A and B are shown apart, each in its own frame.
Chain A
Amino acid sequence: GAVVSQHPSRVICKSGTSVKIECRSLDFQATTMFWYRQFPKQSLMLMATSNEGSKATYEQGVEKDKFLINHASLTLSTLTVTSAHPEDSSFYICSARSRTGGFDQPQHFGDGTRLSIL
């Protein structure tokens, strides 16, 4: 159980393009989803936290107009990188957690999206 599916796994596109990444919880309802960015051989950097039906909370230094997050349902959150530039190239990973019986469950991660902007 606790499977998180992230799509696409890899994107290569031209500078100025907007890219949408989907994160789905396949067998549980995700009350909260997290979006991370990971540079090569580095740790995960939290970008934003989104709760279903409400606006995402962005970490300091993350441009909310650049990285649009939508968490419209309990099983789907999307991250849109608007007008992407080469410096946005990175590995983007989502995670999701649920609440069962009043207790929070651990975060489960998707397999990430490798974004390359030419």
Chain B
Amino acid sequence: GENVEQHPSTLSVQEGDSAVIKCTYSDSASNYFPWYKQELGKGPQLIIDIRSNVGEKKDQRIAVTLNKTAKHFSLHITETQPEDSAVYFCAASFGVGNQFYFGTGTSLTVIP
């Protein structure tokens, strides 16, 4: 089955700096890669996703890059704000509607 690794497990940045979270996957058949943000006591919220036919996608301060050859994808948050503090999960799946394989999560703290 698919195995998704996520690094780092914790990340602290100063407000205004950028944050980068990286994930690798093992199954070359995976073709859909969403990123979720989970705040304390809440369920994960989809923040951005990318399909395997695209190398990069951007939405305001958030961007995701995908390297299919190396089987890794990354989340980039620019101009971080305290409200970006949360746990971020990457996931991989074969098909948008199929089972997600989640990474282990990254706890991001943005220091004011």
A residues adjacent to B (C-beta < 8 A): 4, 6, 31-32, 34, 41-44, 46, 49, 93, 95, 97, 99, 103-112, 114
Contacts and interface: CB of A to CB of B under 8 A. Distances in A.
Given A34-B100, A97-B97, A109-B43, 16 more contacts: A41-B107, A42-B105, A43-B105, A44-B44, A46-B99, A104-B95, A104-B98, A105-B96, A106-B96, A107-B46, A108-B46, A109-B36, A109-B45, A109-B46, A110-B43, A111-B43
B34 A106 contact: yes
A110 B102 CA distance: 16
Contacts of A112: 41-43
Contact of B46 (A6, A106, A111): A106
A106 B49 contact: yes
A68 B103 CA distance: 27
Interface of B: 34, 36, 41-46, 49, 89, 95-100, 102-105, 107
A109 B38 CA distance: 10
A93 B97 contact: no
**From DSSP, what is the main secondary structure of chain A's interface residues?**
strand
Contacts of B49: 106
A43 B89 contact: yes
Nearest to A59: B99
B41 A114 contact: yes
B42 A111 contact: yes
B43 A104 contact: no
B89 A93 contact: no
A31 B100 CA distance: 16
A109 B44 contact: yes
B9 to A, nearest CB: 9
A68 B50 CA distance: 34
